[in-house]
Structure 1
Amino acid sequence: MTVLDALQVTLGDEHAALYTYGVLGARTSQSATPELYAAIASAYRRHRSRRDQLRVLVEEAGGEPVAAAAAYEVDGPLLRAPQVQAAALATEESSVEVLTALVAQSVGAVREWALVEATWSATWQLELGGSAQTWPGAPELD
């Protein structure tokens, strides 16, 4: 896999994450669950910024950024706050895995950026009620 391929895969994952966080944001209440609402909104902003940066990185690598799909499947019912929280946690777990793969495929500034973003998603899992992991993004090493 080339760096450009890894960037495109990561961009595709960010499109899905943004869609998911949009759905999750619509399923949370700022008045009923303000902490969860704030966590979802913060994650949405971070992923939007990440998506925008990935578009630039893909273009700098000589590629045409992959477009977002019209819709993505969001697993499970999202009727209660714990279900929304679990879906957000799963999104961050996926992001760490994809970003870690980008770290492995890249060098220099791209690698540094991917590592910073993977670290953010790994620590954001704690904000979403997840537990600390020895090797986030590499469950096969646990």
Structure 2
Amino acid sequence: MSTSLTPVDALQDALAAEHAAVHLLGFLGARTSTAAQPQLAGLLRAGYVLHRGRRDQLVRMLRDRGAEPVAAFPTYDDPRELTSAAGLRGRARQLEEDCCAVYATAAGATWGAARQWALQALLESAGRAIALGAEPATWPGLPERVG
């Protein structure tokens, strides 16, 4: 049995991650004070717009391939215990690092324009993770390559 993903499967996984990212960033943004943490609020707002755009692009990419895009879950677990700016920032950073892993996988399972798109999404998420406090990584999304 092969464990490799088809390009459509990889794009579906990326879409599922983007559905979750849009939800989570909306939740985190609503819990962030624009007055008290303007930089964090700006990062979360920009991330929300970016991930919503990626989600919409993935829907189009999948439909162009004749696939029915996966739907968002009806509900997601919201980290209601996060109340501090540091906790909110850390959760947003983890989200971007998770997206790096999804896009690294998608880049490995696709080719051509879809691979270029996945690599661009990977780079954007890596940059956003760094802006949110992550350490720069030589191979973002590929922890097995570290060391």
Range into which the TM-score falls when normalised by the shorter chain = over 0.9
Q: Percent identity?
A: 40
- The aligned counterpart of 1:103 is 107
- The aligned counterpart of 1:94 is 98
- The aligned counterpart of 1:132 is 136
Distance 1:76 1:91 in 2: 16
- The aligned counterpart of 1:27 is 31
TM-score, normalization: structure 2?
Answer: 0.93
Distance 1:87 1:76 in 2: 11
- The aligned counterpart of 2:45 is 41
**SS of residue paired to 1:132:** coil
- Number of equivalenced pairs: 142
1:97 Cα offset (Å): 0.2
- The aligned counterpart of 2:67 is 63
TM-score, normalization: structure 1?
Answer: 0.97
Q: Gaps (5+ residues) in structure 2?
A: none
1:75 Cα offset (Å): 4.5
- Letter of the aligned partner of 2:138 in structure 1? T
Is 1:12 aligned to 2:26, yes or no? no
Distance 2:130 2:15 in 1: 24
CA offsets per residue over residues 5-60 of structure 1, 9 Å max, x none? Answer: 11111100100011110110111011010000000000000000000000000101
**SS of residue paired to 1:8:** helix
Is 1:80 aligned to 2:80, yes or no? no
Which has the larger displacement, 66-75 or 104-113?
Answer: 66-75
CA offsets per residue over residues 74-131 of structure 1, 9 Å max, x none? Answer: 4572111000000000100000000110000000000000100100000111111111
Supply the RMSD in Å over aligned alpha carbons: 1.0
**SS of residue paired to 1:91:** helix
**SS of residue paired to 1:72:** coil
